[in-house]
Amino acid sequence: MGIPVVAAWPATICFLALTYPCLARLGTLNYRRLGPGVRQADLASLLMTVAMAAMVSPVGFPVPVAGWQAVFVVTACWFTVSLLRARPVRGGSRRCDLHHGVSAVAMVYMLAAMPHGDVGHRVWPTMVDPATTAGFAVPVLAALGLAYFAADGAVTARGALRARRDGAAAASGTLSRAGCRVVMSAGMAGMFAAGLAV
């Protein structure tokens, strides 16, 4: 993906470390009480952490790009339908559905539009030829992705800090979910920035 190895390893470790709180929430929370919207968000977060670790990993990943794209297209469609419903599913919110839908579309774009010329990713087909360009195809979309994820990370962090400061009673896993979302948004913004910098 064009990320220097010295930065790729820490990013890979960070994204893989985020799988733990996602799995912990999926294994311990009472989703019957919290609602299916919360479970869907936690599953989408787990999917994103694994995919982002694979994207930045210096050694690559055995799942072909078409497989990742198919999973993220289905994810984007799922959250788009959820967003367009008359009312959100129990435990869900329109903002959360929008975020996960945008995240899935951003992953499809990143998988297709970013050359993966490093050793571990040579087998991935892309929309651009690494010989002609090292950056994103349609860079304005990458710039929009960068702006969205930077803003989302800031808004989520501010909301979590405010809720914690005010002592508001949070549902199980809320702070863990917010922390993961902040790190994931920062990671997405960083990946878009790295692609635009070349």
Output the six-digit token pair for 107. 């992953």
Model confidence band, residue 169 (pLDDT cutoffs 50, 70, 90): low
8 Å CB contact between 116 and 101: no
* pTM summary value: 0.83
pLDDT of 127 reads: 45
Q: Is 140's pLDDT higher than 80?
A: yes
Q: Is 29's pLDDT higher than 90?
A: no
pLDDT of 185 reads: 96
184: which residues sit within 8 A by CB, 6+ positions away? Answer: 15, 18, 45, 48, 49, 52, 103
CA–CA gap between residue 39 and residue 41 (Å, rounded): 5
Q: What percent of the chain has pLDDT over 70?
A: 81
Among 57-66, 153-162, 183-192, where is mean pLDDT lowest? 57-66
- Residue 131 phi/psi, 5-degree rounding, is -70, -30
Mean pLDDT of 57-77: 84
- The residues spanned by each domain of the chain are 5-197
pLDDT of 66 reads: 81
**Between 130 and 8, where is the model more confident?**
8
Output the six-digit token pair for 165. 């400061």
Q: Is 14's pLDDT higher than 80?
A: yes
